[in-house]
Amino acid sequence: MQPILKSAKLANVCYDIRGPVLARAKQMEDEGQKIIKLNIGNLASFGFDAPEEIQQDMIRNLPNSAGYSDSKGIFSARKAIMHYTQEKKIKGVGLEDIYIGNGVSELIVMAMNALLNHGDEVLVPAPDYPLWTAAVSLSGGTPRHYICDEGAGWLPDLDDIRSKITDNTRAIVLINPNNPTGALYPDDLLREIVEIARQHQLIIYADEVYDKVLYDGVTHTSIGSLSEDVLTITFNGLSKNYRSCGYRAGWMVVSGDKRHAQDYIEGLNMLASMRLCANVPGQFAIQTALGGYQSINDLVAPGGRMRRQRDLAHELITAIPGVTCVKPKATLYMFPRLDPKMYPIADDQQFICELLEAEKVLLVQGTGFNWPHPDHFRLVFLPHEDDLREAIGRIARFLDGYRKR
């Protein structure tokens, strides 16, 4: 029998957050071992419940949710998203400019598929949320990674961005607030990125799915609010801000000068129609979520659970010799660095696997986020404080042994 091979389109597609190390962890769990998971930003599984009123609203609307909706989404949800974009000062967004999807994930793939031809390049941050790199590759484009500078609090390096623009560059991806680094970008930097996009006629793809998960009183600016001409597609959803990843409710909003983008917009409309519509019960949660009590604010405020866990995880991880870490201003993640002199790691996936086997703690290796060196890992600080203490204690013990090798 001929082996059945995966398509050549998948040759450069990689999504390591749910890759081979997770498969090994599942196997260990099946054998009865207990693993502390600092690997995935799945809030509900750590007792961060979705707001009660969203749940009730979905239940109430379930009888009305059995049919397909408009491909772009139900009216009430798109109206609420339109108001939200107005709150974020993104100008000129009408109902037709809003697309609801099965999470932001589906829309990222859709947006790339509608745009890219072979040879087209997209600027993607390194490190990134790896779906972006994967979606560019899957759509036949070439991801070109620009460096975010750890020494500058993980802000995008503008010179690196400029140096990587070619005649084939079509777009730039910005993940702000950033997964995996927890960075939040200041307005002057965003303005410079808008200017680069304007000069080189790039589309800006702005992934803002953590725009309410902010610590220390910082505020978030949507890059889409900083220009009325540059075509900008802003992504957001319920998964993180409203702790409801499983409801699969996300959206994208097209802003800027759309007159020269009609053909691309037709492409988006066609892809949205081809998948008929997004999960309708999840869409019913959107209006209540955006208009209701913003309980996320309690979690990130001083004394709130997320904020306490961020502080504890950062304090404990940076107390380990040779581990440094930019303190996240936002999100659920930090991206610590292991001093290569003390930890000469050649293959960081193997390193993470050894940690898992030895200490039953699961992390994701930095190269899984398209970081070019094997000297970082991502830590999710969602587990309760006791579990974080236990997990980071085990990481410290493992690293102690690693240094003595």
> What does the binding site for ligand PLP look like in residue numbers (CB under 6 A)?
41, 103-105, 129, 175, 179, 207, 209, 237, 239, 245, 250
Q: Which residues pair with 67 in a beta bridge?
A: none
CB of 378 to ligand PLP, least distance (A): 10
CB of 78 to ligand PLP, least distance (A): 16
**215 vs 343 by CB, closer to ligand PLP:** 215
CB of 234 to ligand PLP, least distance (A): 12
**178 vs 309 by CB, closer to ligand PLP:** 178
Within 13 Å of residue 74, how many CA atoms lie on the same side as its CB?
21
DSSP H helical segments within 164-295, as ranges? Answer: 187-200, 262-274, 280-291
CB of 292 to ligand PLP, least distance (A): 19
Closest to 214 measured CA to CA, from 328, 330, 314: 330
Residue nearest to ligand PLP as judged by C-beta position: 103
**175 vs 268 by CB, closer to ligand PLP:** 175
Q: Would you call 292 helix, strand, or coil by DSSP?
A: coil
**125 vs 336 by CB, closer to ligand PLP:** 125
CB of 235 to ligand PLP, least distance (A): 7
**81 vs 345 by CB, closer to ligand PLP:** 81
Amino acid in the structure at residue 37: K
Which DSSP string do the residues of 327-392 spell out, in sequence order?
PPSBSSEE--EE-TTTS--S-HHHHHHHHHHHH-EE-EEGGGGT-SSSSBEEEE--S-HHHHHHHH
CB of 226 to ligand PLP, least distance (A): 20
CB of 95 to ligand PLP, least distance (A): 20
- CA 206, 39, 53: angle at the middle one, nearest 5? 65
CA distances from 367 to 132, 300, 374 (A): 14, 29, 6
Q: 159 exposed, middle or buried (CB, 10 Å; 0-12, 13-18, 19+)? A: exposed
**235 vs 398 by CB, closer to ligand PLP:** 235
Closest to 43 measured CA to CA, from 400, 374, 380: 380
**103 vs 256 by CB, closer to ligand PLP:** 103
